[in-house]
Amino acid sequence: MVTKRFVVFILATVLWVSAPVFAHHGGAQYDLQHHTTLTGTVTGLLWSNPHCVLSFDAADDKGVVKHWSVELHNPLVLTRAGWTSTSVKPGDEIQVTFYPAKNGAGSGRLYGDEAKLSLHGKRLPLETGEDVGN
């Protein structure tokens, strides 16, 4: 019989093992098992703690345009990766691979193993020290 104590133990172990992966807001609201790749147009870059936010409009495979706001790392990490607050500007064409929100909202996470961002065909690093092979 699966007792409540057993469930809590499993939850505790899973969360303890995976804790370092969480941002301070957590990541449980994103589908971290399935990434999405879109081509779109930047509408803004919020250069601020706790996370920079890249906003863009992109069409899905049916041609429906959706507005997205995805979190990047904080300004210090991006600065160490070579970014400035104007590395990406409104109107820029980008290709972005990110982890979308599970609930279908236009939110997501733009860092992690599969996350990528290309501006005019050139990869931008999303982590400090990331080799993007340009």
Partner 1 sequence: MRNRMIGAAVAAVCLVFALSPRAIAQAPKAATGTGLDHDLSGVWGEFTGGARPPQGLARRSQPPVMTPEGQARFEENASQTKQGLPVTKSPAFQCLPSGPLQAYGPGTYAVEFIQTPQRILMLLEYAHQWREIWMDGRPMPKESDPLWMGYAVGHWDGNDLVVEMGDFNDLTWLDSGGHGHSAQLKLTERFHREGNALLETATVDDPKYYKQPWSTSRTLERHTDWEVGESFCVRDEETRFENVVVNPAANPPAAK
Which residues are near partner 1 by CB under 8 A? 5, 8, 11-13, 15-20, 22-26, 28-30, 46, 48-51, 53, 55, 69-71, 73-77, 79-80, 101-108, 127-131
8 Å CB contact between 31 and 102: yes
Structure tokens at 32: 């971290």
Closest to partner 1 by CB, 45 or 120: 45
Name 83's Cβ contacts closer than 8 Å, sequence gap at least 6: 124
Closest to partner 1 by CB, 67 or 120: 67
8 Å CB contact between 85 and 76: no
Closest to partner 1 by CB, 120 or 129: 129
- Give the span between the Cα atoms of 134 and 124, in whole angstroms: 9
Task: Quote the least distance from Cβ 28 to partner 1, whole Å.
Answer: 5
Task: Quote the least distance from Cβ 90 to partner 1, whole Å.
Answer: 16
